[in-house]
Amino acid sequence: MSSIKLKHSGGNAVSLHPPTSAPSASDVQFKLPTADGTAGQVLQTDGSGNLSWVTAGISEVDTWRITSSANTNNSSADITANWARNTATGFSKLGTGMSESSGIFTFPSTGIYRVDFSTYGQVAGGTSSSVAVVYINVTTDNSSYSQVSGQAGSIGDAGGGGSYYYCGFNANTIVDVTNTSNVKVKFSLYSDGNVTWFGHTNWSRTWANFTKLAET
């Protein structure tokens, strides 16, 4: 059984040994990356012997929120404006972070991501109760979007007592981002009554969170 021994000038050596039993089918070959990785990265195989440097563990976390309130009144609407990255005390994005344009979010790299969408809304007192729904929408061709996750509920002043009634909704999904140019996400709201969905410049009322869990 052969081995590769790398001897240090100080005298000691590091050796690479073959497996204890022979490969079952044919010779096993690994192709090394063309350059070094960054600190903390590990080698990953694509299953065909091609090795690449990847970051172990969670490498991307980002949170965005709307800074001004949105409204739906017997209608549905994408949230296309007033998105901004979270600036709350103690928050810091991990990694490159998401990018956003007109409410469409682009992922910083391929991978398996968890997407969370949370909303805080209000229907005015004296109105009938309202059914409200929040949606996460995903495209895989940078064109047509599908509603992949949502949550619905009923809010409102059913008795007409003049009070304001509030609601919170949360939806989440897992997105396999195989191509950052084609796989994107956006968020939408629906209500069959007059609902205000709150935004704020200092803290998160209606917001989205993005976490990269693993490589694709």
Enclosing domain of residue 111: 60-214
The helix/strand/coil state of 93 is: coil
Q: Is residue 139 part of a domain?
A: yes
In a domain, 166, yes or no: yes
Write down the pLDDT at residue 125: 58
Q: Is 35 within a domain?
A: no
User: Contact, 116 vs 98, CB < 8 A?
Assistant: no
* Residue 125 in domain: yes
In-domain check, residue 48: no
User: What is the band of 128 on the pLDDT scale with cuts at 50, 70, 90?
Assistant: low
Query: Does the structure show a pLDDT above 80 at 1?
Result: no
How, if at all, do strands 41-45 and 60-66 pair? Answer: unpaired
How many distinct structural domains can be found in the chain? 1
**pLDDT band, very low/low/confident/very high, at 215 (cuts 50, 70, 90):** confident
Question: Residue 192: what pLDDT?
Answer: 87
Q: What is the pTM of this model?
A: 0.80
16 vs 199: which has the higher pLDDT: 199
In a domain, 204, yes or no: yes
* Beta strands 184-197 and 130-139, pairing class: antiparallel
Residue type, 22: A
Where residue 185 sits, what CATH number does that domain have?
Answer: 2.60.120.40
- Structural domain includes residue 25: no
Question: pLDDT tens, 71-117?
Answer: 998 899 999 999 999 999 999 999 999 999 999 999 999 999 999 99
What are the C-alpha distances in Å from 59 to residues 40, 102, 175?
A: 11, 25, 16
40 C-beta neighbours (distance < 10 Å), count? 10
Counting every residue written for the chain, the total comes to 216
- Range scoring the smallest mean pLDDT among 75-84, 88-97, 150-159, 183-192: 150-159
Residue at 98 is within a domain: yes
